[in-house]
Structure 1
């Protein structure tokens, strides 16, 4: 489908202001009740003068401090995005095997106590979980937690955002891969484009800045809309984040569908040669740029062409309670099983520390990743990468 002229698309979008189940991934862990592998002794460095020491349990063998935790609240989703899951869906974990609200909060408290200062709630689609507002409110009470974010497809955002903001939600990422309503339905296999746009404008109305918009770029599908997305940042406080298409079970990835960061950047520079690169934030996954005079900015998530493993500070807990230390890794450890076996806080920390200590320097190369056995994306989190 050909993109419409920038001005026409942008005008239409602006008017529209009034869019992660048990898997086959191997679980590497000591069984509950059995001795836990001791964590190698690691120093307890300080983040800054006068600050509490950062936990050695969250520092890997390469010295990376993991201060950012992503928690999947559900495996369910009300969309069927092509890059995320097969059209028929995926087998879901039985409810009894998913983390309860109290288990989620118990793990969150433990990680924050050890040095995590940012938590992002993902899915599946986190906003279909009935107690999501209460979870945000409970997280807000954790001393030392500075940021509570959420990654959502935006379908329920306009309705829930006032409550979420009051509860303490401080950052929003919204998935939107096209500005053409018909193409939206093709990509996500559901209706809802105007609900997503309503959610974006509600976030702006409530003062979130920037509102991050995640766009997975796929050749032959939406790479012709790059300029349209960038044009939105002229008048709106958006951070449009172009994400390289990544392989996960069930999304039929192939190299020809991937549009690299450099190719996307070249396209933007042809239209806006004045595009300026912004300083990179510590541990950021994004390469950020801004057009002088525009309110917003654009970023690139370059997981495939230029990995950012060296500064990775992220850990993930899946909806069924497995700790993943790398998005692209297939090694997981079940924190749920240890919780339910009555593990003490110290025992949980040893399990976490051992997993973090095994984290590799970097993920596999682009072509090796495509052959790796991993969960479908929907069973890890709702959008491929979001800061």
Structure 2
């Protein structure tokens, strides 16, 4: 099989060119929507992909059409061999990105530049110090905020991810958009999604329509500009006339974008997930360590991908907790 085969094309004609690789299940924050309050059982170190295994498995995907790789976690920068992994992956012909909580990115600026990693997504769910502490269960707001400013100053493509929860941080939507006035960043509002242990409830979700209602109240139609979304983009993008940056909305729950999905996920313990919402997995690492080809398993997993959200194709199905409780918690999937 070569790169021109349809290994990464599913039965709905979606070609998967984007691989998100979780490097660790560990994190130095404890965000409520990501990690259950009691924590999660962590995979033993021996069960996690080594740096060489990350590279070898990633290369297989690249050989079959992946052109973009994003490193996630947990928090990918807590992994001690992160620099080694980054250097190995940077040798592949792909666009590199990372999703991080931003706490330690200042220590890796030179590494990012050396390895041509330009796309950095930073999670920041509140501009209020106490709210940040409440949702992350840690007191790192100033460090994260200052590192966002540093990344923007250093010329990276910075996106700030904001998971919205009703009656908690939805009052900050306009404040977040205000950041884009003088900063060349993209703020992305993400609908609260259901995962094992995060106590999801549809009443906690702030929908795309509700977000836009607040935006339209704050800005006139002349000032609100609809931007052209990139192919396979998960985000509906906007900007305010005269502002340096932009903002967008990721509406995975109220208005899913499954028709154009090109993403696959590889967990830190080497399992392939064909959809963020699906509970099914394929253990690629086990096959790899047995010396077997992982290509048939990849092809089978891709072909098994459902049309919409792992068969949870309606809001009513999302409300059935027994369905999403079969999935992993977000921290063990990878953002």
- TM-score normalised by L of structure 1: 0.82
Q: 1:280 and 1:163 mapped to 2: Cα distance?
A: 29
Matched, 1:62 2:12: yes
Question: Which residue number corresponds to residue 321 of structure 1?
Answer: 270
User: Runs of 4+ in structure 1 displaced over 6 angstroms?
Assistant: none
**Equivalent residue number for residue 137 of structure 1:** 87
CA-based RMSD of the aligned residues comes to: 1.3
Q: How many residues align?
A: 326
Q: Is 1:297 aligned to residue 246 of structure 2?
A: yes
- After superposing the two structures, state which structure 1 stretch, 369-378 or 246-255, moved more: 369-378
Give yes or no for the alignment of 1:376 onto 2:325: no
Secondary structure, in 3 states, of the residue corresponding to 1:62?
coil
Q: State the partner residue of 1:350.
A: 296
How far off its partner does 1:114 sit? 1.0
| Equivalent-residue separation in structure 1 for 2:134 and 2:307 (angstroms) | 38
> 2:230 & 2:160 partners in 1: Cα distance?
18
Aligned equivalent of 2:119, options 162, 166, 171:
171
Cα pair 2:9 2:303 within 8 Å, conserved: yes
Question: For 1:94 and 1:165, how far apart are their aligned partners in 2?
Answer: 32
Cα deviation for residue 164 of structure 1 reads 2.3
SS state at 1:276 partner: strand
1:181 aligns with one of 120, 129, 143 = 129
- 2:167 is matched with 220
Give the Cα separation in 2 of the matches to 1:284 and 1:381: 18
2:64 is the alignment partner of 1:111: no
From 198, 215, 237, give the equivalent of 1:288. 237
Answer whether contact 1:328 1:369 (CA < 8 A) is retained: no
- Say if 1:136 and 1:168, in contact at 8 Å, map to a contact too: no
Give the alignment partner of residue 276 of structure 1, picking from 221, 225, 238.
225
Tell me by how many angstroms 1:53 deviates. 5.6
Contact residue 51 and residue 84 of structure 2 kept, 8 A = no
Q: Distance in 1 between matches of 2:316 and 2:25?
A: 27
Q: CA deviation at 1:279?
A: 1.5
1:94 aligns with 2:44: yes
Kept in 1, the 8 Å contact 2:238–2:246? The answer is yes
Deviation at 1:280, TM superposition (A): 1.8
Q: CA separation in 2, counterparts of 1:219 and 1:113? A: 43
SS in structure 2 of the partner of residue 170 of structure 1: strand
Query: Structure 2 residue aligned with 1:338, among 287, 303, 323?
Result: 287
Q: Is 1:359 matched with 2:325? A: no
Inter-partner Cα distance in structure 2 for 1:199 and 1:115? 33
Q: Give the C-alpha shift of residue 179 in structure 1.
A: 0.4
Deviations 1:329-352 (A, max 9, x none): 011000011001111xxx311111
- Selected match of 1:251 from 192, 198, 213: 198
Distance 1:244 1:158 in 2: 28
1:251 is displaced (CA, Å) by 0.6
SS in 1 for 2:117: coil
Structure 2 residues not aligned, in runs of 5+: none
User: What is the Cα deviation at residue 362 of structure 1?
Assistant: 1.1
Aligned equivalents of 1:54 and 1:201: distance in 2? 42
Q: How far apart are 1:168 and its partner, in Å?
A: 2.5
Pairwise CA distance, 1:87: 2.2
Cα-to-partner distance string for 1:178-219 (whole Å, 9 max, x where unaligned)? 00111110110001001101211121121113x100000001
1:266 corresponds in structure 2 to 213
Contact 1:213 1:239 in 2 (8 A): yes
Do the aligned residues in 1 keep the contact of 2:195 with 2:330 (CA within 8 Å)?
yes
Question: Greater shift after overlay, 84-93 or 306-315?
Answer: 84-93
C-alpha deviation, 1:165, in angstroms: 2.1
Contact 1:158 1:195 in 2 (8 A): no
Task: Indicate the SS of the match to 2:102.
Answer: coil
